[in-house]
């Protein structure tokens, strides 16, 4: 029962922290870390013991799956050069540069372990930076940070696992590691795509037989990231990339027809899970802070001097991470611009001004994935032998997360001062065009609709009623039907008209949805447009009481 009470208390704190975050001008992650630290204060004595492997399994697959599901894939493809350079190139650059620096400043940390720490410090958290920026970041920069956060979660954690294996076994070969990395990465992607595709086929088979209960389908999708992760790990490939690939594939399969209620329920459930899991991770970080500090200084004779030196070490490591990121952003961004101009292509996104480069640099906030990764470091490196400096690694990771959040809270609002964050005109134009084309598709479907059922003699009154209804629907659904009197004849007529209107509206809505899918398949609209317009259509169909 104690575990159940602990979970309930943590979930309650996640909800309360959201309310507190609305009152205090502090980003939600910092509020949650502070709440956890306050709860773990010796007077309250709330303690949570963590199993590293269980922590990694519970938190990472659903968060990475949700990132893969949500990322705008068309926009990501358009900026694939800068995103890959940040998500893969910068990770390797950080692992080498920060790894050697960590080993130099803290010789007690072996070089392979320093590389592992640098790797786990590489992933960024776009959710945290969006909470800090509050929608004021220019859309191209936000897309770049989101794409980087999605891919460097995978690349950083896969590199972390390789470095960790080298630290445990003492064997490392760059050639073997490169080939193995490629096989593990491609294998993980293949497992995730295949499993997600099989689930999609299973759902289609179930729908064709009338087994379209939304709760059943949503439970299957909730289990998918864990299944993808476990199956990939069992096969010896990357479970992290498998969860990401499953999410990206499932976002395509989410466009299955006749699944309005499932989509609505699925969005709500995943929004809840993302909020709860991200909040729990930051709460757990706060809860662990006293234990982390105690473990770091437990072998020293003096508390405050040791703690001060460790904090200076964290500050130095964070400064090096910022410097490496700024150098990489500047050089790669300008290099890509030179190559595009040499090939006669226009600038890809924004002109690389000093402000935009600093926004990209300081927008690389560390968060949930870094904490989940470092918490997964094993307690023992061999039977009877503790993992070297495990407590110090967790202390450094926690310190870097805190510093990155605090620095972003201070600097991003200053850098964004005077930036006019007007709505994305391209996105708005695509949304308007999608609405226009889907409305035209609805009108064409209504024009072709045979209102009088086959086998029945056409009735003049019924034909007139149908013409009136079709005219109103094709004029884009005017005001509500007029009030009816209470006579039995009027009630029967009203019921008949209501059923006919619902059938016509469903016909129009489903024609709109099919046209939207067609536009998406032809890459004429992006994922964000599909999500917005499809959400409107699903809500309209759900309001009719016929969401399926």
Residue extents of the structural domains in the chain: 2-257+271-415, 425-543
pLDDT, tens digit, 9 for 90 and up, residues 489-500: 655 666 676 677
Instruction: Return d(Cα 193, Cα 248) in angstroms, integer.
Output: 8
pLDDT at residue 68 in the model: 79
Instruction: Return d(Cα 525, Cα 519) in angstroms, integer.
Output: 6
pLDDT average per 10 residues of sequence, the chain (548 residues): 76 86 78 83 69 72 81 74 84 91 91 89 76 69 79 78 78 69 84 91 83 83 91 86 86 62 78 83 80 73 77 93 91 73 59 75 82 75 71 88 86 75 61 72 69 54 67 51 50 67 77 79 75 76 60
Residues sharing a CB contact under 8 Å with residue 546, sequence separation 6 or more, in sequence order: 502, 506
**Predicted TM-score of the model (pTM):** 0.70
pLDDT at residue 195 in the model: 93
pLDDT at residue 191 in the model: 93
Dihedral of CA 138/144/145/146: which sign? positive
Instruction: Return d(Cα 115, Cα 160) in angstroms, integer.
Output: 8
Q: Residue 35's Cα: distance from chain center in Å?
A: 24
pLDDT at residue 503 in the model: 77
pLDDT at residue 324 in the model: 93
pLDDT, tens digit, 9 for 90 and up, residues 242-276: 888 898 888 776 655 556 677 777 778 888 888 88
Residue pair 274/8 in contact (Cβ under 8 Å)? The answer is no
Instruction: Return d(Cα 174, Cα 29) in angstroms, integer.
Output: 37
pLDDT at residue 172 in the model: 64
Residues sharing a CB contact under 8 Å with residue 10, sequence separation 6 or more, in sequence order: 48, 280, 283, 284
Residue 468 φ then ψ, to 5°: -60, -45
The CATH topology of domain 2-257+271-415 is Na+/H+ antiporter like fold (1.20.1530)
pLDDT at residue 547 in the model: 46
> Secondary structure of the chain: what % helix, strand, coil (to 5)?
75, 0, 25
pLDDT at residue 481 in the model: 34
DSSP string, 493-526: HHHHHHHHHHHHHHHHHHHHHHHHHHHHHTTSS-
Closest CA to 127 of 46, 27, 41: 27
pLDDT at residue 322 in the model: 94
* DSSP letter, residue 46: -
């Amino acid at each position: 029962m104690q575990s159940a009470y602990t979970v309930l208390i943590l979930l309650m704190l996640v909800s309360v922290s959201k309310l507190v975050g609305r009152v205090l001008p502090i980003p939600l992650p910092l509020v949650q870390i502070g709440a956890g630290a306050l709860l773990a204060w010796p007077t309250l004595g709330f303690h949570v013991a963590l199993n590293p492997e269980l922590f990694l399994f519970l938190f990472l697959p659903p968060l990475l799956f949700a990132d893969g599901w949500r990322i705008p894939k068309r926009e990501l493809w358009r900026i694939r050069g800068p995103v890959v350079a940040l998500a893969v190139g910068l990770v390797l650059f950080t692992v080498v540069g920060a790894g050697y620096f960590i080993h130099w400043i803290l010789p007690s940390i072996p070089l392979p372990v320093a590389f592992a720490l640098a790797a786990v410090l590489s992933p960024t958290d776009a959710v945290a930076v969006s909470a800090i920026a509050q929608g004021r970041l220019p859309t191209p920069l936000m897309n770049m940070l989101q794409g980087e956060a999605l891919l460097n979660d995978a690349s950083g954690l896969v590199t972390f696992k390789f470095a960790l294996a080298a630290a445990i076994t003492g064997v490392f070969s760059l050639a073997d590691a490169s080939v193995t990395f490629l096989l593990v990465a491609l294998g993980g992607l293949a497992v995730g795509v295949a499993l997600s595709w099989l689930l999609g086929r299973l759902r289609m088979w179930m729908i064709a037989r009338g087994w379209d209960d939304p709760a059943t389908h949503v439970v299957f999708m909730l289990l998918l990231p864990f299944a993808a992760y476990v199956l990939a790990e069992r096969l010896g490939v990357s479970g992290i990339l498998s969860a990401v690939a499953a999410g990206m594939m499932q976002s395509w399969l989410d466009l299955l027809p006749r699944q309005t209620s499932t989509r609505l329920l699925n969005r709500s459930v995943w929004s809840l899970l993302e909020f709860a899991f991200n909040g729990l991770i930051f709460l757990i970080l706060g809860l662990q802070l006293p234990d982390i500090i105690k473990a770091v200084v437990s072998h020293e004779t003096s508390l405050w001097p040791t703690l001060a030196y460790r904090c200076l070490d964290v500050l130095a490591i964070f400064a090096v991470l910022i410097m490496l990121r700024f150098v990489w952003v500047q050089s790669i961004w300008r290099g890509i611009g030179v190559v595009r101009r040499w090939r006669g292509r226009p600038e890809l996104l924004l002109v690389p001004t000093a402000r935009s480069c600093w926004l990209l640099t300081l927008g690389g906030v560390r968060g949930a994935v870094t904490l989940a990764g470092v918490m997964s470091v094993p307690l023992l490196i061999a039977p009877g032998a503790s993992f070297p400096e495990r407590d110090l690694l967790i202390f450094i990771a926690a310190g870097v997360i805190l510093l990155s959040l605090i620095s972003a809270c201070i600097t991003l609002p200053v850098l964004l001062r005077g930036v006019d964050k007007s709505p994305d005109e391209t996105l708005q134009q695509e949304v308007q065009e999608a609405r226009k084309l889907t409305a035209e598709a609805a009108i064409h479907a209504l024009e072709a609709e045979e209102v009088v059922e086959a086998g029945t003699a056409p009735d003049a009154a019924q034909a007139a009623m149908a013409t009136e209804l079709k005219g109103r629907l094709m004029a884009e659904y005017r005001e509500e039907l007029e009030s009816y009197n209470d006579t039995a004849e009027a009630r029967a007529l009203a019921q008949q008209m209501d059923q006919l209107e619902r059938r016509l509206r469903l016909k129009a809505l489903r024609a709109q949805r099919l046209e939207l899918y067609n536009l998406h398949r032809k890459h004429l609209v992006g994922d964000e447009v599909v999500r917005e317009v499809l959400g409107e259509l699903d809500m309209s169909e759900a309001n009719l009481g016929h969401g399926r």
